[in-house]
Amino acid sequence: MWTGRETYERAVFLVEGFDLAQGGHVHPQLQEWAQRRSGTTNIGWPWVLLRLALGTSPDVLEGRDLGPLTAEEDLAALSLLRKALRDVVATH
């Protein structure tokens, strides 16, 4: 599905919308994937992935929207989201 300009924020919305339509199986799996890699349990997977992709500490992203990001930040975050989705699909 083409969502216009490819951004991390739009990709997260696409994944969340797809997940809601399919019964909510992807969200918990992505949350678990993110928790295993970050050790945090109180931050949603979209922000954990963004933090991991940007190499920032959790407090830097606290309260931050998923956009706007620079083109480089979007690319890094999208790349990690694709990897996470591939890993989740491969294990289930």
Neighbouring CB atoms inside 10 A of 85's CB total 16
Read off the pLDDT band of 78 (50, 70, 90). Answer: very high
Q: Where are the domains of the chain?
A: 8-91
d(CA 40, CA 31): 10
Could you report the per-residue pLDDT of 52-67, keeping only the tens digit for each?
998 877 666 666 777 7
User: Which value, to the nearest 10 degrees, does the dihedral of the CA atoms of residues 63, 75, 40, 86 take?
Assistant: 140
Could you report the per-residue pLDDT of 17-55, keeping only the tens digit for each?
988 888 878 888 999 999 898 887 788 899 899 989 988
pLDDT of residue 61: 63
69 contacts 7 by C-beta, under 8 angstroms = yes
Whether residue 3 is predicted with pLDDT greater than 60 in this model: the reply is: no
